[in-house]
Structure formats: structure tokens, C-alpha cells
């Protein structure tokens, strides 16, 4: 009976080690060439044509569009994060920030 228990325990441990984990991808995947095409002076519709709809369009900050991207591949602890922020004034691009490091607001 103990040999059977040992075999079943080892088999269950081996089976749990083979669990497949999917890649988790969220947000806007932006190509570097597309981000480079956005220039100061472009309109909102031109930016949306090049980069797509922003991930975050905050109603409290109407002149800021955030394009966030997150990727974690399977069991890997490595995470890819990108954050591009486009600022507008009078519906024209005034500033673009690439790979922004997020800081908590106090």
C-alpha cells in the first residue's frame, strides 16, 4: 500500500510541474517606428490614426493620452512594460514621453 501511495504522490507532483501558463499581454502594443512618427503639432485624430485608441483616456486629464503595455511570458518572472504618454494643448500634441517610469502620487 505504501509503494502505491508513493507512486501516486510522485505522479501527481510530476503532473503539476507540467502545467502550461499562457502569456499575459495587456494594453497597446506599439511599434517603435509608430511612436517615432508622432510629432509635436499633430492633431488628436492623427495620433489616433498612428497609435490607435489610447488605453487610458482620463476624463480628469483630457489633454493626456496614456498608451500602456504589459507582457509576461508563461512562467518567466520577466515582465515587459512600456508606457507612452502624449500631451495635448488646443487639440495638438505638445509633448511625448516614452517609457515613463510610474511614480505614486502623494
pLDDT(103) > 60:
no
Q: Give the Cα separation of 72 and 79 in Å (integer).
A: 5
Nearest Cα to 80, choosing from 66, 69, 93? 69
State pTM to two decimals: 0.69
List pLDDT tens digits, range 78-96: 888 888 999 999 999 999 9
Q: What distances in angstroms separate CA 9 from CA 6, 14, 16, one per listed residue?
A: 5, 9, 11
Question: Would you state the pLDDT for residue 78?
Answer: 86
Amino acid at each position: 500500500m505504501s509503494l502505491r501511495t508513493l507512486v501516486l504522490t510522485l505522479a501527481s507532483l510530476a503532473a503539476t510541474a507540467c502545467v502550461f501558463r499562457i502569456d499575459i499581454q495587456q494594453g497597446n502594443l506599439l511599434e517603435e517606428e509608430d511612436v517615432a512618427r508622432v510629432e509635436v503639432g499633430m492633431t488628436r485624430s492623427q495620433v489616433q490614426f498612428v497609435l490607435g485608441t489610447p488605453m487610458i483616456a482620463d476624463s480628469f486629464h483630457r489633454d493626456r493620452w496614456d498608451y500602456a503595455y504589459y507582457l509576461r511570458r508563461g512562467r518567466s518572472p520577466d515582465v515587459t512594460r512600456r508606457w507612452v504618454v502624449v500631451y495635448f494643448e488646443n487639440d495638438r500634441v505638445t509633448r511625448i514621453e516614452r517609457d515613463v517610469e510610474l511614480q505614486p502620487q502623494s
